[in-house]
Every structure is written in structure tokens, then in C-alpha cells.
Amino acid sequence: ARPVVAIVGRPNVGKSTIFNRIIGDRLAIVEDKPGITRDRIYGIGEWNGKAFSIIDTGGIEIDGEDVIMKSIRMQAELAIEEADVIVFMCDAKAGITQSDEEVAEMLYRSGKPIVVAVNKVDNIGRSELIYEFYGFGFGDPIGVSGSHGTGVGDLLDAIVEKL
């Protein structure tokens, strides 16, 4: 079986945008079971001759901060169970938020290999925004832009290195 990569993070950081850039047209399964924990999309990624399954989590937007946080937590738990490598996606524009801290804590306890991707680094001026994310202690954060596709190759290098 292929190794499994999961993308986790709070809503709107750009998980689905980066997921789509990674899979191209290799969409595998869309789980349409109702409910917040089973809302997951599976695709296939390939980089430097290495193939992997990749999961995009958390597409449903639910109103209410408590419910959103609960769903982020459940998705992170499932990712920890299923994935060999977890991409923890954050937003350079927003910086580190309380929800990010919570997810980071769970991921830290899991002991799984983590790659921190900092999305929305759309221009050179924003590249310094990634430094704050060293604070998680998961190693070098990778700046990416889902809008422009920049940094996605570096992110894939970092993922494949940990597979």
C-alpha cells in the first residue's frame, strides 16, 4: 500500500487549494458520508518517483466556533491515526492563532512526522512571515502559495523526505 499523507489545519488556510495542486487530476475517493469526521477527500500524489495517498480534511463549514474547533480536533485525531506524514497547514497572513496552537499540541503529542506548510506567501514581501512558525518546533516551515503554486515543489520535497 502507498504511504499516507494527511493535510490538517483550521478552515480557510488553503488546505484544499494545495491538495488540488498536489494531486492534479489524480482524485481517488470522495467520502460523502454525512458528518464532520468523515468529510475527507482522497487523492494520489507523486513526486520524484514516489507515490503516496493524500487526504484533504475538513471541507464542511459549520457555524459556531465550538463546533468548528471540535471538527478540527476530530480531523487531526483521524489524521494522526491514519497518516504516515502530516502536513500542518497554516496561514501566513493570519499568523499563529489559538486553533493552530491546539492542533500543534495534538500533533506534537502524536510523535508523527510533521511538515508545517505556511500558505498565502503570495509575494516576496510575505516570505518573512514564515519565521513565526519555527516556534512550533516541527522544523523548517515551508512557505507556499496555493494561488500561485510557488513553494509547492519545496513542500513535496519535505513530504517525500519523511515518507
Residue 59 has which C-alpha cell?
471541507
Query: Which residue has its beta carbon closest to ligand GDP?
Result: 146
SS3 77: helix
- Yes or no: say if 103 and 10 are a contact pair by the CB < 8 Å rule: yes
By CB under 6 A, residue 3 contacts ligand GDP: no
Closest CA to 82 of 57, 109, 51: 57
CA distance 31 to 119: 25
Grid coordinates 489524521 are at which residue? 79
Residue with smaller CB distance to Mg ion, 3 or 59: 59
Binding mask 51-90 for Mg ion (x = CB under 5 A): --------x-------------------------------
By CB under 6 A, residue 122 contacts ligand GDP: yes
By CB under 6 A, residue 11 contacts ligand GDP: yes
Residue 133 has which C-alpha cell?
512558525
CA distance 89 to 91: 7
By CB under 6 A, residue 75 contacts ligand GDP: no
Q: Which of 55, 107, 119, 136 binds ligand GDP (CB under 6 A)?
A: 119
Residue 141 has which C-alpha cell?
516551515
Q: How many residues bind Mg ion (CB under 5 A)?
A: 3
Q: Which of ligand GDP, Mg ion, none does 57 bind, CB closer than 5 to 8 A by kind?
A: none
Query: Which residues here bind ligand GDP, judged by CB under 6 A?
Result: 11-17, 119-120, 122, 145-147
